[in-house]
Amino acid sequence: MPDSVSRSRRSSSTASNGTAANRVDRARIEAAVREILLAVGEDPDREGLRETPARVGRMYGELFAGLHTEPRQLLRRTFTQKYDEMVLVRDIEFASTCEHHLLPFVGKAHIAYLPAGKIVGLSKLPRVVEALAHRPQVQERMTEELADLLMEELKPRGVAVILEATHSCMTIRGVRKPSSVCTTSAMRGTFRENQATRNELMALIYGPR
């Protein structure tokens, strides 16, 4: 097992991009929300609901702002650094929207990579998570997209992405399992090939802190 020192950092999610949020067609969302309210048997003109279509329009602008951003750009500014041990950013909180039900799934991402001469600013990783989370998503795809993006842009020796999330579509409807957590992982390069590297990663993420 290679003895490596990892950089581990807790991070919170960054604010979403305001200009990207303005690119959704809010008027169209408002009309659709009004239509849904009518369809379920509500009166969209009663006081409590009057502002709802506009509010949901703004909210979707924010939740889906990631559709109008290119997360790849965030990884283009790299630094040459002779650091070839594991870099891990743990506990990156995110909130995304399940594309099957348009309900939130909320959780944490852990991202690790083994640089091959190129490193990226640590704050960029949470921003990439943010960009991908702010789209209609499927947790499995988001996990793989994160891993592939890092592999392509940083050309590291390996990438590991683990996502843990609770899905509202499982907790408030359907099977109603409020405490179930869905874990997905994508391993690339050394993390896929080398059990010891994977063990080391797991110890860093889940071991005693």
The residues of the shown chain that bind Zn ion, judged by CB under 5 A, are 98, 100-101, 169
Q: Note if 169 is an active site residue.
A: yes
Taking the complex as a whole, how short is the minimal distance between the CB of residue 104 and Zn ion, in angstroms?
Answer: 9
Which residue type occupies 97?
T
Taking the complex as a whole, how short is the minimal distance between the CB of residue 103 and Zn ion, in angstroms?
Answer: 6
Q: Which is the catalytic residue, given 35, 70, 73, 100?
A: 100
Residue closer to Zn ion (CB basis): 63 or 112: 63
> For the chain, what percentages of helix, strand and coil (3-state, to nearest 5) are there?
40, 25, 30
Q: Note if 139 is an active site residue.
A: yes
Q: Note if 134 is an active site residue.
A: no
Residue nearest to Zn ion (CB): 169
Degrees (nearest 5) of the Cα angle 48, 61, 107?
95
Q: Which is the catalytic residue, given 139, 145, 153, 200?
A: 139
Q: Note if 167 is an active site residue.
A: yes
Q: Note if 98 is an active site residue.
A: yes
Adjacent-strand bridge partners of 118: 80
Residue closer to Zn ion (CB basis): 98 or 125: 98
Own/partner long-range contacts of 151-155 (Cβ < 8 Å, ≥24 apart): 151/188, 151/189, 152/72, 153/72, 153/75, 153/76, 153/78, 153/120, 154/75, 154/78, 154/113, 154/115, 154/116, 154/118, 154/119, 154/120, 155/116, 155/118
Distance in angstroms (rounded) separating the CA atoms of residues 88 and 93: 14
Residue closer to Zn ion (CB basis): 23 or 101: 101
Taking the complex as a whole, how short is the minimal distance between the CB of residue 171 and Zn ion, in angstroms?
Answer: 10
Q: Which is the catalytic residue, given 42, 85, 101, 164?
A: 101
Antiparallel, parallel or unpaired: β 182-189 and 118-120: unpaired
Residue closer to Zn ion (CB basis): 116 or 138: 138
Taking the complex as a whole, how short is the minimal distance between the CB of residue 139 and Zn ion, in angstroms?
Answer: 9
Q: Note if 101 is an active site residue.
A: yes
Q: Which is the catalytic residue, given 30, 130, 167, 200?
A: 167
Catalytic site residues? 98-101, 139, 167, 169
